[in-house]
Structure 1
């Protein structure tokens, strides 16, 4: 989920992209993995991988199609120092290391102005990536109803292109896992248990719940905790329902 990354006992970290400068320890001290307890996801065409490249370095995140040219992802994936001055491309498919699938250029990224990188618990870790050309993929709906504590215990499915040492910072394989909502705060969703949650490279990926019979994005993978030796132990998502004003302006743009 994450995110971001793995490393000091009980540390809170950006779920993120797996960039070395995001890690409390060096890359060789971490043993990142993709979705914990997940399996390869050959469906969900609306879930894409983002590759953020600057110079000789690349990192990855996950994103979801919410309009023909708009992807929903995490703010920490595209803030200054991640995508500024570099290039961002989106991969649609299952395995970014294979010859199957489609790459589309991203021409703009924007993140929720209420996002505070120094306070992940405040939520709003939400961003959009604007594609160079529309994709013929059915967009995923995103939740508009306030999430409440009565959703705790309900099923949720997490999807991401979690990284591993074989493809660190380059690509990923789409995985998913079914689990439950364990916590709802005014800004965040705590999802999964120790054996079922997100990890490195899953940042920005969707948490899907059934809303009126339709799989709907309720959260965007944001950050998580780790325990020595470099094991992802949980995952937290930013609630999308508190960022509707930001998201809607891009989805509704002419």
Structure 2
């Protein structure tokens, strides 16, 4: 696998963040500008910013969001892990709230893997899930991922979205979260939020967390968004992780 990554920054990509009342609270700056209805998230240490680019060429940097699911494995979106022709991309995971703050840790990514069924020409076909493998283990508690499909009975249930993406003003690069609810359960995608609470560009790959047996668990990975009325981000759609357990488990369980 090439140690390179391309973040597919089409206008349809999405990501946002949120807080859910029945999930353990994270330290939050409730007065800060929101990512489509969210607030700054100073908690959730397993949620990282995934950064790729050529350090010697300003402007080449692309970014997504990912979540630690084992000491060395991050789950993210497939379109955040598409190997490309550039062998000199540096890929890192930022553990912290904002790189601009000067606080946090950058960990090198040694390889990325894209789900074999993902078709970068049409993100709506599904399989938008991938993993990034860190060069070394980190001392951060991983987040469990869901193994049981959601059902129609869970529509209306609370969910929390987390990501480093843009807000209503286009400002991004800070970990944000937002509390919202499930509105759609389909085989290939999950819908969370409403027009005022959802994900946006840069949040791609970030987690949608729901309480499973009392434990915050990744049920979806932010995949893409849609726009209308001149707005870049008006909705967000997410890949159900339970559908791709064979793909994810092989990396988590690798010796």
Q: TM-score category by the smaller chain?
A: 0.7 to 0.9
Distance 1:34 1:114, change over 3 A: farther
Partner in structure 2 of residue 209 of structure 1: 210
Matching of residue 220 in structure 1 with residue 221 in structure 2: yes
Q: Counterparts of 1:1-254 in structure 2 under 5 Å?
A: 6=11, 13-15=12-14, 35-54=35-54, 55-56=57-58, 57-81=60-84, 85-163=88-166, 172-254=173-255
Any idea what the Cα deviations from partners look like across 1:28-69, whole Å, max 9, x if unmatched?
xxxxx9731000000000000010114540011000000000
- The CA RMSD over aligned residues, in Å, is 2.4
- How far apart are the structure 1 equivalents of 2:127 and 2:217? 18
- How far apart are the structure 2 equivalents of 1:53 and 1:44? 25
Q: Deviation at 1:227?
A: 1.9
Whether contact under 8 Å (1:153, 1:182) holds in the other structure is: yes
Whether contact under 8 Å (2:94, 2:107) holds in the other structure is: yes
- How far apart are the structure 1 equivalents of 2:209 and 2:146? 9
Structure 2: unaligned runs, 5 residues or longer: 1-6, 16-32
How many residue pairs are counted as aligned between the two chains?
229
Distance 1:229 1:167, change over 3 A: closer
- How far apart are the structure 2 equivalents of 1:87 and 1:96? 16
TM-score, normalisation: structure 2:
0.83
* Worse-superposed segment, 120-129 or 68-77: 120-129
TM-score, normalisation: structure 1:
0.83
Structure 1: unaligned runs, 5 residues or longer: 7-12, 17-32
Q: Deviation at 1:240?
A: 0.3
Distance 1:163 1:34, change over 3 A: farther
Q: Deviation at 1:4?
A: 5.1
